[in-house]
Amino acid sequence: MKPDAAISPEGAIDPSDAWVEIFHSLGLPAYRIRVEAKDKMVCIQAPPEDFPRLLAPAIRPVLVKHGKALGYRFVTLDMS
């Protein structure tokens, strides 16, 4: 099973599970993740006030690399 296919307690697949460890390692909260399978896109749902931190030169490339390693073509921010 690939890391992005973790099973939640309810039995549904939760793509956010594959991101918790990377968020915590960067000192970030565990943001919700939304997947657009058709476009091979993953959206990190974060409040706009967190965008500067997520886009910081020390953080952004790590998140993009993680998303690409999981097989996504695009890693985006979603203003939730």
Over residues 9-56, the pLDDT tens digits come to 344 467 889 999 999 999 999 999 999 888 899 999 999 999 999 999
Tell me which H or E stretch contains 51: helix 51-54
Residues written for the chain: 80
Domain ranges within the chain, ordered by starting residue: 3-79
| Vertex 17: Cα angle to 12 and 19 (nearest 5) | 145
Cα distances (Å, whole numbers) of residue 79 to 7, 31, 51, 59: 26, 11, 9, 18
Are 8 and 39 in contact by the 8 Å Cβ rule? The answer is no
Q: Supply the pLDDT for residue 26.
A: 96
Q: Which CATH architecture has domain 3-79?
A: 2-Layer Sandwich (3.30)
Tens digits of per-residue pLDDT, 54-76? 999 999 999 999 999 999 999 99
pTM: 0.79
Whether 47 and 22 have beta carbons less than 8 Å apart is answered as no
